[in-house]
Structure 1
Amino acid sequence: MESVNRIDPAMPVGAYQTYSITAPRDAAVVTACEQVACPAWANGWDSVIDERTELGQQQAAYIRGQSRRTFREMKTDGLTVFRFEAHQRCFEEHRTRPEIYLVRDGDWRGNPTGRKRQHTRPADWVEDMTENQGRIVDLQQKG
């Protein structure tokens, strides 16, 4: 294992906060199209269905009666084209690894207070870190 070179901290461990993003190993969760930048979600998509087959009839019936998605229907060369609008869930089941957005007191030497909090949204974690960095800059400017 490689040794880590660290600069000696200028302040006690309690004067620091650590921001981290981690992902549990071997864990995957079903996630929304928007979160995985699904092209069908972003741009819309076409589903071409051959209603001359039993499978095609079942697919078309599902789209028309149960899919709860917005589409336009067109017939072409014996096939039915369902054109779906953008920004709605596609028919894929997307999976992704969950991310844990954590803020804890302390640094690599430990967490003396034991205090930590987990943000549920990445934007909240970024906002928290940005505000913390702003406080540090203000303190530096004050001397």
Structure 2
Amino acid sequence: MNRPINRIAPLQAVQAYQTYSISQRPDILVRAACQQVGCAAWLHGWETRIDEATEQGRQQAAYIRTRSGRTFRELRTTAGLTVFRFDSGQRCFAEHKTNPEVYGVRDGDWRGNPTGRVRQHQRPADWVEDFGEHQQRIADQQKKG
């Protein structure tokens, strides 16, 4: 059962409003950096243990040493495994995906968009700045009366 929406009656015409929104499209996944998704390996660093007695282990170790581009320390265990300790703040070996947020601004309110004008910010910080400037304009207009 859907609950009815309880809206406050607007004091101005629809043209006097702007709507700021943050949304996500559920059907879109994009590749993301470790930092964007809060990857634990990126935050704290990680260890990779490799058995170089196997062909796959030798290939993995060679990749890490020569082509991975990551900062690490190399250790040996008593069992003969190679341990690579990677520092935090660098991309791990996993491929992360995230559902991107859409930072929108449109004219009007729930009654509609009379101008059809819609903007989409590329960065969250730009959306926040735009929203803050809009709030400041409203406060300045209220002071004027």
TM-score tier after normalising by the smaller chain length: over 0.9
Q: Which residue of 2 aligns with 1:3?
A: 4
Give the 5 Å matches for 1:5-44: 5-44=6-45
Q: What CA distance in whole angstroms lies between the structure 1 residues aligned with 2:96 and 2:55?
A: 27
SS of aligned partner of 1:21: strand
Answering whether residue 99 of structure 2 is matched by residue 120 of structure 1, we say: no
Q: What CA distance in whole angstroms lies between the structure 2 residues aligned with 1:112 and 1:36?
A: 37
Q: What CA distance in whole angstroms lies between the structure 2 residues aligned with 1:131 and 1:39?
A: 35
Moved over 6 A (4+): none
Q: Which residue of 2 aligns with 1:93?
A: 95
Q: What CA distance in whole angstroms lies between the structure 1 residues aligned with 2:125 and 2:83?
A: 38
Q: Deviations over 1:81-139 (max 9, x none)?
A: 11111111101111111111100111011111111110111111111111111211222
TM-score, scaled to structure 1: 0.93
Unaligned 5+ runs, structure 1? none
TM-score, scaled to structure 2: 0.92
Answering whether residue 29 of structure 2 is matched by residue 45 of structure 1, we say: no
Q: RMSD of the TM alignment (CA)?
A: 1.2
Answering whether residue 82 of structure 2 is matched by residue 80 of structure 1, we say: yes
**Matched residue type, 1:48:** R
